[in-house]
Amino acid sequence: MKIIAMIPARYAASRFPGKLMQNLAGKPVIVRTYETALKTNLFDDVFVVTDSDTIYKTITEAGGKAIMSIKEHECGSDRIAEAVENMDVDIVFNIQGDEPFTPKEGLEELLSVFKNDDKKEIDLATIMSEMTDENEIKDPNYVKVIVDNRNFALYFSRSPIPYPREKNVGLKYYEHKGVYAFRKDALMDFYNLPMLPLEASEKIECIRYLEYGKKIKMIVDNTSGIEIDTPEDLERAQAEWK
């Protein structure tokens, strides 16, 4: 089973433009993320896939591997699918470029999903973490997920799901985290199938897989990392790196 990691990297970012090129303990954020993925020793290869000449040059000059996107893309999955279309691979990990602290343990758990999936019923695996802050649960910037009794995803939403009509039923809320592992076939299906109304409404790419009947296995990982979305996040990351 050939396993690779892809790190989609856009230069533009609405809340923090150029964040992937910001200095984190002496190196650009995107280089730190790339090196972290390499150091896990979980992958046969690691690539940054980008629409930016600056990011491409930065990664290659640091000794890394980068791929330039040919087309404009709506999301990271599309960018990765274009890059792997002609590669001979089985499992593709999507690691977020702005998360240089992605823990190895969570990646290992995602990988174990496919190693234990003898029937090949799982199309992709991704991570969720428990939420307890009511403001975050209500905040549409946090994507929530609900699952069945085998931890297969039922739905993703920016709204609080499920709605807490009854308060005393032991309900838990989970946030979807942006690390994925795909079977290549499922990723290419995603790339070639049109967006449907639920995904278009919520702007959550995982919904497309559900709308077309794909099976998404959710792994619980409550490890807290730092996603660099703001200058304040970068300050926290600097302190954490030290």
208-226 tens-digit pLDDT: 999 999 999 999 988 767 8
Residue 12: the pLDDT is 76
Q: Are 179 and 110 in contact (CB under 8 A)?
A: yes
**The two three-digit tokens of residue 109, written as one number:** 């758990």
Q: Are 194 and 205 in contact (CB under 8 A)?
A: no
Residue 168: the pLDDT is 81
Going by C-beta distance under 8 Å and a sequence separation of 6 or more, which residues neighbour residue 233?
Answer: 16, 226, 227
Residue 125: the pLDDT is 97
DSSP E strand stretches across the chain: 3-9, 23-24, 27-28, 45-50, 66-68, 91-94, 124-131, 144-147, 153-157, 173-183, 216-220
Q: Residue 69 and residue 9: Cα distance in Å, rounded?
A: 10
Q: Residue 119 and residue 12: Cα distance in Å, rounded?
A: 40
Residue 37: the pLDDT is 95
Which whole-number Å values give the CA distances from 240 to 23, 90, 97, 146, in the listed order?
14, 34, 17, 31
Residue 224: the pLDDT is 66
Q: What are phi and psi of 43, to 5 degrees?
A: -120, 145
Residue type, 183: R
| Neighbour count for residue 190 (Cβ, 10 Å) | 23
Closest by CA to 218, choosing from 155, 170, 134, is 155
Residue 54: the pLDDT is 95
Q: Between 29-39 and 231-241, two packed helices, what is the crossing angle to 10 degrees?
A: 50
Q: How many angstroms from the chain centroid is the CA of residue 212? A: 20
Closest by CA to 79, choosing from 114, 50, 44, 118, is 50
Angle at 185 between CA 33 and CA 146, to 5 degrees: 70
Specify which residues 182 forms β-bridges with. 92, 124
Residue 83: the pLDDT is 93
Q: Report the SS3 class of residue 69.
A: coil
**The two three-digit tokens of residue 213, written as one number:** 């009947």
Kindly give the parts of the chain with pLDDT less than 70: 13-15, 73, 224
Specify which residues 130 forms β-bridges with. 174
Note the pTM of the prediction, 2 decimals.
0.90
Residue 14: the pLDDT is 65
